[in-house]
Amino acid sequence: MHFHKSREIAGYFQSLAFSRMPIRSFFILTPSESYSALHLHSTLASPLVALGYHEGGRLISLLSILAASIVIFKFVSYLTDYRAGLLAAGFFWLFPLSHRFAYAYLPESLSILLTTAALFLAYADAEQERELYFYGSIILLLLAITNHLWEAVILAPIGAIYWATQKRRKFATFAAIGVTWTGVVHLLTKLQPSNTSQLTNFGTQTNGALFLQINWWLTYLPSNNWYLSDSLTTFQIFMNVVLPLTVASTIGWGIYYLRSKSNRALMLSAWHFSGIVIPLALVGGYHLEYFMWGTLAPLAVSSGLVLHKVLDTALESSYADTKTVVLVYLLLVSASGAQVWHNEYGPLDDETPPQASLDGVAEYEGYAAGRQMAGHQMTPEDITFVGYEFIDGSYNNYAHDHGRVVVYSDLLLKERSRVATDRGPTYVNETSMVDDCVFLVERVNDELFVRRCN
């Protein structure tokens, strides 16, 4: 699968750092680590990583997306009935980006779950005045912001529904707690030795003309004759329509609210709007698909509600039959599975490169090399990588083949620290240049060889 490897590397090392030094991990910077929050996703995965399950964050992601689909089902069932809930959950799994969040070592899967659940409880509280729901929503909001900070955008629909239902005290409580906690989490991130996200301070709003360029809106399509391309995937199609659809949904539900004064319509309009904030506020936000996480749940909910209305009107009594609803749901999920295969694995022919390779090195090579060094009393600086491929612009980027070796060696890389900066592995062109080390990893064509240093 094609993901942002550097972000998965970041998530893994954050988990490893927390498992070995829970408090000190907030004072060091691991490879590719983001400065934006306290990484709740990686923290939850840390016990699994400590037990030797290196892909623990992927399990957290899968469970989060599964739970999110259940929350979406319950939420839409509450808004209308279970039929619309089933359709909404099916749409959520139909979205190609949901598949990636379900598989990758990325925090956005947890963001979707926590923000959706927080909004669900707030909406139910606004209608039923259940204090338990109110406090539960606050707790989920705090956890969400702790994950990656930008989850604070869910305050828009939460605030809208409390304001519309004349719950001014609860509106003010949410606003105060949300803004204060966002500031606290941001200050806590300053404990780390440097800011790795300076570019986020330079938003796309400094160049408004960018939004008038057609290439910006069609960034995920193949550049040349995309309409004739056999490689056009449902992922590319979805990523080019998700933002326009979200903008249209924001406006559409907003107009419906002005005409009907429906609290549900106001909530949905504000929810869609919150999903737009991140990709438009950050540099290249729309070009980095993981910034689109906030659009998925509201799109699924709106799609389920609209299709439910269409089918209910068109089919009438037959739509009330459970079999019809289940059939439509299964069609959505089946289409989801088919497109996963096409998007991520491509055609089954001899010319298709194996997706498990990285920089021409098979996945098993990096895994085996790392496991040979695991368990030895050593530090990252005791490893020397031999081969021009290792230092060809990739030595400081662990998203390349040597990163897999380090991950499976169980060594913790600390790139920066308040006390001192730890040295990482050494990179040389030839074995004759090897100086002091415990293990050397040499790349010969597409194979990796591990040897003890003399």
Verify that 310 and 173 share a domain, yes or no. yes
The total domain count for the chain is 2
Token pair recorded at residue 303: 């799609």
My answer on whether 386 and 442 are in the same domain is yes
420: in domain = yes
Helix (H) or strand (E) holding 416: strand 416-417
Q: Could you give the angle at the alpha carbon of 235 between the alpha carbons of 222 and 363, nearest 5°? A: 95
> Whose CA is closest to 58, among 93, 19, 7, 94?
7
Strands (E), 58-145: none
- Tell me, what's the pLDDT at 45? 94
**Above 60 in pLDDT, residue 205?**
no
Indicate if 424 and 338 belong to the same structural domain.
no
Is the confidence at residue 394, as pLDDT, over 80? no
User: What pLDDT does 389 receive?
Assistant: 72
Dihedrals phi, psi of 357, to nearest 5 degrees: -95, 155
Tens-digit pLDDT profile for residues 322-364: 667 777 777 777 776 666 655 554 443 333 333 445 555 666 7
Q: What is the pLDDT of residue 353?
A: 38
Q: How far apart are CA 208 and CA 313, in angstroms?
A: 42
Q: What is the pLDDT of residues 223-274, one digit of tens each?
A: 544 444 556 677 777 888 888 899 999 999 999 999 999 999 999 999 999 9
Helix, strand, coil percentages for the chain (3-state, nearest 5): 65, 5, 25
| Total number of residues shown for the chain | 454
Distance CA 292, CA 242 (A): 8
What is residue 178's predicted lDDT score, i.e. its pLDDT?
Answer: 94
Q: Are residues 18 and 161 in the same domain?
A: yes
Q: Which residues constitute the domain of residue 94? A: 5-211+301-342
Of 328, 108, 100, 111, the residue nearest 235 (C-alpha): 100
385 & 332 share domain: no
Query: Is the same domain home to 323 and 367?
Result: no
Q: What is the pLDDT of residue 429?
A: 80
Contacts of 420 (CB under 8 A, 6+ apart): none
352: burial class by Cβ within 10 Å (0-12, 13-18, 19+)?
exposed
Tokens of 438: 């415990």
- pLDDT of 284 reads 58
Greatest distance between any 2 Cα atoms in the chain: 80
Residues 404-448 have pLDDT tens digits of: 888 888 888 877 665 555 677 888 887 778 778 888 888 877 788
The CA-based dihedral angle spanning residues 33, 34, 37, 41, taken in that order and rounded to the nearest 10 degrees = -60
Cα 231 off chain centre by: 24
Structure confidence by residue, pLDDT tens digits, 148-160: 888 999 999 999 9
The model carries a pTM of 0.87
Q: Are residues 373 and 407 in the same domain?
A: yes
Q: Are 31 and 158 members of one domain?
A: yes
Tell whether 107 is covered by a domain: yes
Is the same domain home to 72 and 183? Answer: yes
Tell me the percentage of the chain whose pLDDT exceeds 90. 35
Task: Indicate whether 86 and 188 sit together in one domain.
Answer: yes
**Contact residues for 9 (Cβ-Cβ < 8 A; gap 6+):** 31, 32, 398, 399, 403, 407
